[in-house]
Amino acid sequence: GAGVSQSPSNKVTEKGKDVELRCDPISGHTALYWYRQSLGQGLEFLIYFQGNSAPDKSGLPSDRFSAERTGGSVSTLTIQRTQQEDSAVYLCASSLARGSYNEQFFGPGTRLTVL
Amino acid sequence: QQQVKQSPQSLIVQKGGISIINCAYENTAFDYFPWYQQFPGKGPALLIAIRPDVSEKKEGRFTISFNKSAKQFSLHIMDSQPGDSATYFCAASWAANDMRFGAGTRLTVKP
């Protein structure tokens, strides 16, 4: 079966531009997570969805970041007016449900470079 | 606030040696402690996980040791192989809450 897919795999943009990153979770997974991985850093939790709802948006670094999920499936992470410090790998993960014992399956990530 | 502290940041081991990565946590409510393995250009993948009701879990060459009183857990890779070279993340979560990851350890196993 297909795993979590993300697109694009690489994105180079100029400072100040908006970018959209897409995540296709595993079919049937109700929970979806976004993380940011900066060079040499761990995984920074950004936001999670249970179905189409994102109850806690406090992990988003600034109001330039937003995310949505439609139809309980595809999710889009949008970064407006990108800054150089936004350069990182953005990882998406999905799990059957939210909760401790549900394994999170990660996509390959989108490498974002802001020039 | 870093809820899970991982060390070392990088580790070099000879083939056949033992690789040891350590993690410490603060929140005593954590009840699930997974380790993820990440190869370059790939997303992390679950390697092995433990719950706090046991002190050790072994799967093949990989063992998690868990010390609840010290709030520490570690990953041991026995007979380390060059194919084990990757970045390893410890993590912790509780109940229906979200997972918190350590900063990662880049392991290099030299042939």
In chain B, what residues touch A41 (CB-CB under 8 Å)? Answer: 103-104
CB B101 within 8 A of CB B90: yes
Question: Which among B90, B91, B74 is positioned nearest to B19, based on CA atoms?
Answer: B74
Closest CB to A91 among B43, B95, B103: B43
Question: Which chain A residue has the Cα nearest residue B100?
Answer: A45
Is residue B46 within 8 angstroms of chain A, CB to CB? yes
What is the reported pLDDT for A73?
93
B95: domain CATH number is: 2.60.40.10
Cα A103–Cα A109–Cα A114 angle in degrees, nearest 5:
145
Alpha-carbon B107 to chain mean position: 11
In chain A, what residues touch B29 (CB-CB under 8 Å)? Answer: none
What is the reported pLDDT for A40?
67
pLDDT at residue A1 greater than cutoff 60: no
What is the reported pLDDT for A55?
81
The predicted-structure confidence for A13-48, as pLDDT tens digits, reads as follows 999 999 999 999 999 999 999 999 987 678 888 999
CATH class in words for A5-100: mainly beta
CB contact under 8 A, B98 and A99: no
What is the reported pLDDT for A97?
80
Question: Which chain A residue has the Cα nearest residue B99?
Answer: A100
Domains contained in chain B, number? 1
CB contact under 8 A, A43 and B94: no
CB contact under 8 A, B99 and A104: yes
CB contact under 8 A, A106 and B45: yes
Range(s) of the domain holding residue B41: 4-110
pLDDT at residue B92 greater than cutoff 90: yes
CB contact under 8 A, B89 and A43: yes
- Residue ranges covered by each domain of chain A: 5-100
Rounded average pLDDT over B11-34: 95
What is the reported pLDDT for B16?
98
Confidence of residue A99 (pLDDT cuts 50, 70, 90): confident
Most confidently predicted of A31-35, A94-98, B53-57, B74-78 = B74-78
In chain A, what residues touch B104 (CB-CB under 8 Å)? Answer: 41-43
What is the reported pLDDT for B35?
97
Cis amide bond preceding B40, omega within 30: no
Cα A106–Cα A67–Cα A100 angle in degrees, nearest 5:
45
